[in-house]
Amino acid sequence: MKKRISLLFTFVIIGFPLFASIITLSESDAVTLALNQNYELKSSLIDLQKVEDQKKNSWNVMLPDFSIEGSVTNSNAIFGSSNGDYLKITGSLSSSVTLNKYDKYYMEYDKLNYESELLNYEDDQKSLEVEVQKAFYYLLANKQSLDIQKMNLDLALKRWEQMQSKYDNGLASELEVLETQSTYENLKPSYTTAYNSYQTQLMNFKSFLGIDLDQDIELNGDLDVEILDLDADALISTFLNNRIDIQNAQKAIDLKTSLYDIEKASDISPSLALSLDYSYYNSDLLDSDWSDSASVTATISIPLNGYIEGSEEDIAISDAQRSIEQSQLSYESAVEDAQMEIKTLVMEIEGYKENIDICEIAIDISQKTYDATEEAYNLGATELLNLTEAQTTLFSAKQDLLTSQYNYLSAVFDLEKALNASVDEIKSILEL
């Protein structure tokens, strides 16, 4: 019930009527729904809130310890005189605090840890956004491909009906009728399979967005692509350090360095312990003549084991230093992997761009071939088989274009994530 209320509220926020027979979704609408409904992202946000609370309250490592005690002591002699018997009622307040250099490093670590978790949350958001974008345009491509198959099927049916009419009027043979019928019947199974596949994908998409499976939706978008003239080296030099994984790799070095500082401060830095004790006591609870005492203690402690080579503390410091070196190696590896990913994506995009050009040329040629073949067929100058082949080639070329357009868009979404930058930001660099 809570999920249903949350979903209805989300629809209101992004401007959907609650009880529309058909919900029209744009790409941005789908992304907004996913960001609001995804359970993994919500869990990631909780993790972020935990470390944020830790960061905000990291000062508490310097908070003194306070305690209050009360006691009653009754002392009685077992043997001998009872003159030494007494009753003592005591109340005391104690406070202590230890000041050490590593307190400062703990607070720095909490700050760095929050920044790292924030990067992880941003990465989860971006990954989800790209996943939704790809699913959205994949559905659009499949819907348009299904429309092409339906058009192909409708043409085959129309041709069969026309041939049947000619046969009824004695203008065509039974064989010609059977040929057109066979062409139509052979197209039906593939269309049915494609239709069922699309409906399954649509249900998965609705489930992913938290939309009721019985709710009809319509996707508002197209596969028109904006061709980008990309320069991999320029993109790397501008956006490499902006990548979330590179920022996280650098943050890992900072975290390991902070842990090293904590370890070193803990094992070799002196600490100052301050304590305050105040006691109030009497032998009679009702007696107003109470006595009190107070003491203040300051203790300086200097650990020495950290200076002894081979000691447990010395090894811990060395291990912390090696962890920094490992993080630096991981950073260098992440930089190389990032450069490879960006260059690979640029090459893929260039390839898909070329495929789009090829497909558009193929459609133009196939359309002209189909028109000429259809005209020849209507004049009785060519066979039905040739017309069917020309029609199949034309529709296949259109489907190839849809595939190339989707692949191009999908690669661009991956590039945006790889650079942690929008298309507009990428274009602004390329236009310089």
**pLDDT on residue 288:** 65
Q: How far apart are CA 331 and CA 195, in angstroms?
A: 47
What is 267-324 written as a DSSP string?
Answer: HHS-EEEEEEEEEEEES-TT-S--EEEEEEEEEEE---GGGSTTSHHHHHHHHHHHHH
H or E element, residue 412:
helix 384-419
pLDDT of the residue at 432: 53
Please report whether residue 148 resides in a domain: yes
How much is the pLDDT for 294? 82
Does residue 297 form part of some domain? no
- Residue 3 has a pLDDT of 44
C-beta neighbour count of 251 within 10 angstroms: 21
Q: How many domains does the chain have?
A: 1
Maximum alpha-carbon separation in the chain: 142
Q: What per-residue confidence (pLDDT) applies to 375?
A: 93
Q: How far apart are CA 215 and CA 209, in angstroms?
A: 12
Q: Does some domain include residue 289?
A: no
Encode 317-335: b = buried (16+ Cβ within 10 Å), e = exposed: beebeebbeebbeebeebb
Identify the pLDDT of residue 225: 85
To 5 degrees, how large is the angle CA 47–CA 51–CA 52?
110
The answer to whether residue 370 sits within a structural domain is: yes
Q: Which distant-in-sequence residues (6+ apart) come within 8 Å of 16 by Cβ? A: 23, 29
294 lies in some domain: no
- pLDDT score for 74: 64
The answer to the question of residue 6 being in a domain is yes
DSSP code, position 15: T
Residue 11 placed within a domain: yes
Residue 107 CB contacts under 8 Å (≥ 6 apart), including other chains: 58, 59, 61
Q: Which domain holds residue 198?
A: 2-65+101-269+304-430
- What CATH number is attached to the domain comprising 319? 1.20.1600.10
- 289 CB contacts (<8 Å, ≥6 apart)? 282
**Region for 80 from its dihedrals, namely left if φ exceeds 0, alpha if ψ lies in -120 to 50, beta otherwise:** left
| The predicted structure's pLDDT at residue 2 | 42
Structure tokens at 84: 């030494």
What are the average pLDDT values for consecutive 10-residue runs of the chain, which has 432 residues?
43 48 91 90 90 87 80 62 59 78 86 94 95 96 95 92 92 90 93 95 92 91 89 94 96 95 86 82 64 82 84 89 96 97 97 96 96 91 89 94 96 96 88 62
Nearest to 126 by CA among 365, 432, 325, 422: 422
User: Is residue 70 a part of any domain in this protein?
Assistant: no
pLDDT at 20: 54
3-state secondary structure of 349: helix
* pLDDT number for residue 8: 43
